[in-house]
Amino acid sequence: MKVEEILLKSWYISVDPYMRGRMNEVKSYVPPFQVDQPITGRVVARVIESKSKSFSEGDIVIGNLPWATYCIEKAEKLRKIETHLIPPSYNLGILGMPGLTAYFGIMDIGKPKEGETVVISGAAGAVGIVAGQIAKIQGSFVMGITGSDDKCKMLKEEFGFDAALNYKTTKTLRKTIAGLCKNGVDVYFDNVGGEVTDAVVSNLNFHSRIALCGQISHYNSLRIPTGPVILPMLLTRSVMLQGFIVGNYSDRFVEAYAQLTQWVTEGKLKYKETIIRGFNKLPDAFLGLFSGINQGKMLVEIE
């Protein structure tokens, strides 16, 4: 090992839907993964050996690291994390990229006012579960859309959502949303796209806002999907639609991290993780995001 290099043992590896996009040879905000190179992503790891004064053996760090049991990384690419008050894995979820995404989508784009109605799709996942709770903190009526009755129950009973629906078993999505959101929809935080989004959009109020965060229902599509043409409706109802990538807000991460940490330590934000154990389970965990086997953040713990 050279000076300023650190030997790391992976502890928690994050699997995320955006990685699917990196498996296509297309122009995007991150370059595609390369064949014969390891997949990289957010990893929490232990320092095994350090050639840097900034890190000592036993420190817990986070970084963009390869999917590997062990790796050597430059010290400048790593950040030491606090592990006494908050579980280290939270740095990959509520206090990591998914939590920051929820924060900016709600606080900067959706901007729900007290009493307004906020709908979250992909509500029981890493981003959605946080987005819904932040909207509740703002005093909104919050409805979550997700893929099972158990997840609906969890959203209402554990996370304080006012209403939830299972998009896989609801036959008339548009009407059911209208029935649950009696005052229409003021903010839509979209994680999924497709038919779910078409149904929400037809319930949008005048001057409503869409935080376009993810479109997971399209990530495996081989062709550009077609569906209802929604732009005329956005025009006539003066709807604001903004697509965003969390990295757009990198200059405000400190602010968001401080606020999320405060809400977590005060017990105002709760969190859930689905942790699968074993390095060889990484592909199953990643694919599970697309069949919805996770509640909250999906992680793989490396033994």
Stretch that binds ligand NDP, among 68-76, 108-116, 155-163, 292-300 (CB under 6 A): 292-300
Stretch that binds ligand NDP, among 35-43, 108-116, 224-232, 239-247 (CB under 6 A): 239-247
Please tell me the count of residues contacting ligand NDP according to CB under 6 A.
Answer: 33
Closest residue to bound ligand NDP by CB: 125
Distance of closest approach, residue 82 Cβ to ligand NDP, in angstroms: 23
Q: Which of 118, 134, 155, 216 binds ligand NDP (CB under 6 A)?
A: 216
134 binds ligand NDP (CB under 6 A): no
290 binds ligand NDP (CB under 6 A): yes
99 binds ligand NDP (CB under 6 A): no
Q: Which of 6, 47, 62, 126 binds ligand NDP (CB under 6 A)?
A: 126
SS3 string of the chain?
Answer: CCCCEEEEEEEEEECCCHHHHCCCCCCCCCCCCCCCCCCEEEEEEEEEEECCCCCCCCCEEEEEEECCCEEEEEHHHCEECCCCCCCHHHHHCCCCHHHHHHHHHHHHHHCCCCCCEEEEECCCEHHHHHHHHHHHHCCCEEEEEECCHHHHHHHHHCCCCCEEEECCCCCCHHHHHHHHCCCCEEEEEECCCHHHHHHHHCCEEEEEEEEECCCHHHCCCCCCCCCCCCHHHHHHCCCEEEECCHHHHHHHHHHHHHHHHHHHHCCCCCCCEEEEECHHHHHHHHHHHHHCCCCEEEEEECC
264 binds ligand NDP (CB under 6 A): no
Distance of closest approach, residue 57 Cβ to ligand NDP, in angstroms: 32
Stretch that binds ligand NDP, among 83-91, 229-237, 256-264, 284-292 (CB under 6 A): 284-292
Contact residues: ligand NDP, CB under 6 A:
16-18, 97-98, 101, 122, 124-128, 146-148, 151, 191-192, 194, 196, 213-217, 244-246, 289-290, 292, 294, 298
